[in-house]
Amino acid sequence: MERVNPATGEALESMESDGETGIEDALATSEEAFESWRDVPLGEREELLANAADVLRENSEEYAEVMTEEMGKPIAAARSEVEKCAWVCEYYAEHASEHLQDERIGTEPGVDSFVSYEPLGPILAVMPWNFPFWQVFRFAAPHLTSGNVGLLKHASNVPGCAEAIEEVFHEAGYPDGVFQTLLVGSDAVDDIIEDDRLKAVTLTGSEPAGRAVAETAGAQIKKTVLELGGSDPFVVLDDADVEAAAATGARARTINSGQSCIAAKRFIVVEDVYDEFVEAFVEEMNALTVGDPRDDVDLGPQAREDLLADLHDQVERSVEAGATVELGGEPLDRDGFFYPPTVLTDVPRDAAVATEEVFGPVAPIFEVAGEAEAIALTNDTDLGLGGSVWTEGRERGKRVAREIESGAVFVNELTKSDPRLPFGGIGDSGYGRELGEMGIHEFVNRKTVWVQDAEMPEDEPAGE
């Protein structure tokens, strides 16, 4: 696998891919590992997960550096990502027993009836490059602990991160085969999904990739969870704290150099506070620093040269359609794949930055007459991952949040994932949930068990 440092454009040492033999060996190993791993007491699995949290923290700098080198994440953000991975490990190490305990359901006198949560087997995780550790750990922490085993097909530009993650589980004491990394291209995914030994698949990535995985898995009647793209609204109502909204909005648009599914991507502002918000927001965006991700900067490079080109093409097409550039708008003239914080106003509703997911630090701002138009524009998308609403009215915030069609809405806060809360989208943003109690239940058999005395009454009805 060829790698490029996005901060310099220079090639990194390539890494050898796994061929067909490697894939076969991994599948065979995962099937064998599952037969013993599923019988390991849950308490022991929780202890191993707590060990993984310790390994992450002990090697935080090493793991942060490989993220920064491979995909350009600012080093401070990379350290924070490692810490968040440790957090999700600790969460499930503490709560997995609670989430997976038998759920007793009363039916008849003398009958013990309950739902048992039991693992499925080997699960394939197809993961993206933008949060190369976090995306994997939010899959692995719950689903390995529930008794499944994992196979990771990571993005091709972060193979070093993929191997480092496998090392975490090895160092934590997990048995061989419980978590394996496959260094393969996307062309190998269909064959892996179609293999009878694989029982389910989860993907975080683009809408086309999600459709392809769902089609293949559906033909095999295999469970899938998809977390796809987003075009999250950031709604500023007429009673909002504009200064706070502008400050948080700039951060919400530029986290991970703007390369986040749940970044704020469409700023929808009521006309009464529009001018005030634009002025404050441009000032906040302009104050952000862009540079070498190894330094103390707010934004690093875009992860690949082609992604930089795609981003700038969206800006150029939007400007041609009538948008006004208030800030930025051109790639930086330096080595690497750097794009500055960019703000666009007067954006036509059918412009590229209005209708396509924008994966970079570009913020289109839309002026609306009032709350009703804000909600209508918010929901004028096939994507439904997250959203943010800004208002001084707590009850108003709750009401508007209920009217936004997405998997999550945050009031007076940026959209974020949290190990304690379910995370996922609707529409073309995918289906299923990760994290929290709902997340750990995605890849288990919710088995109904009915236990009564051996002698069954003669007049007991049977059948469906």
Return the active site residues: 227, 261
Q: What secondary structure does DSSP assign to 102-163, as a single string?
A: -EE---STT-EEEEEEEE-SEEEEE--SSSTTHHHHHHHHHHHHTT-EEEEE--TT-HHHHH
Distance of alpha carbon 42 from alpha carbon 35, whole angstroms: 15
DSSP, collapsed to helix, strand or coil, labels residue 30 as: helix
Answer for the pair 378, 398: CB distance below 8 angstroms, yes or no.
no
Q: How is residue 423 annotated by DSSP?
A: B
Nearest CA to 48 out of 102, 2, 96 is that of 96
Answer for the pair 327, 282: CB distance below 8 angstroms, yes or no.
yes
Q: Which residues of 30-68 are buried (b: 16+ CB within 10 A; e: fewer)?
A: bbebbeebbeeeeeebbebbbbbbebbeeebeebbbbbb
Answer for the pair 284, 343: CB distance below 8 angstroms, yes or no.
no
Nearest CA to 126 out of 139, 108, 145 is that of 139
DSSP, collapsed to helix, strand or coil, labels residue 247 as: helix
Q: Which value, to the nearest 10 degrees, does the dihedral of the CA atoms of residues 328, 330, 336, 340 take?
A: 10
